[in-house]
Amino acid sequence: MNYRHAFHAGSFADVIKHIVLVRILTYLHEKPAPFRVIDSHAGAGLYDLSGEEAQRTGEWLTGIARLMQARLSEATVPLVAPYLDIVRSFNPPRGLTAYPGSPLIARKLLRPQDSLVACEVAPGARKQLIGALRRDPQARVVDLDGWVGLPAFVPPKERRGVVLIDPPFEAKDEFERMAHGFAEAFAKWPTGIYVLWYPAKSRRATDTLAERVASIAPAGKVLRLEFSSAPQQADGALTSAGLLIVNPPWTLAAEMKVILPELEKPLGQGGAGRFRLETAKA
């Protein structure tokens, strides 16, 4: 497997992940106390949708492009609008030529008292991310493997925030590394919000990950969300992906119950997509 950000920028999986991220950060705005965002595998920050990688897969055409044209209900519009407004801010009026990655989306939602730490070891992607952030004093890009950075940067001095764990799944043991990395970080910062992204190609691998994470976190504190744009084929392109949200804001599950049904049609391929939203159990 290889889910490097450049090939999948703006895909259905990005749309779901980033809507969740924006809802969490919006919730954190409710208190004036500062928060920190820690992105363990940050990527390049901004992706050219006319570039070779994005054009090769074309996943943004059935992801963000469709959502931007979709008609949403009055209940869903205000929940999704902050995310879509951020995407539009990187594009010309009525155009879609670029897609922001997690660090740039998070940066848009930082207040003056908040901060961002983004880990990226790939030289090209790291250079692009540094350029995209333009020496931003609130955003720090570090040349550090995300699995090393996770336990190194928690707990943050702010004591509030989000850890996004979104590796490229290039290694065969990435699910195991994710569970171990989360366990290390959670042991040091059990009150943080953690968002773990994963490709849902193997039911055994995803169930094992969810069960292990749920066994580490307090009971009832892990929200499991999976979305399929089409039936997943073992050797096919990614059409199912999931998130484990540890210590989710109390508002998040209800918000996603409103949002997800309305994403099934625009993000579905050859028919409506499907979603799963539940509390993960050990």
Q: Where in the sequence numbering do the catalytic residues fall?
A: 166
CA–CA–CA angle 58, 60, 61 (5° rounding): 75
Residues 128, 167: Cα–Cα separation, whole Å? 18
Q: Looking up tokens 């059935």, which residue turns up?
A: 62
Q: Are 35 and 114 in contact (CB under 8 A)?
A: yes
State phi, psi for 71 to the nearest 5 degrees. Answer: -100, 120
Residue 52, Cβ neighbours under 10 Å: how many? 9
Buried b (16+ CB within 10 A) or exposed e, 196-223: bbbbbbeeeebeebbebbbebbeeebbb
Q: Are 147 and 171 in contact (CB under 8 A)?
A: no
98 three-state secondary structure: strand
How many residues would you count in the chain? Answer: 282
Residues 197, 168: Cα–Cα separation, whole Å? 10
Looking only at the bridges linking them, the beta strands covering 36-39 and 115-119 are parallel
13 three-state secondary structure: helix
CA–CA–CA angle 58, 59, 62 (5° rounding): 110
Distance of CA 40 to the CA centre of its chain: 11
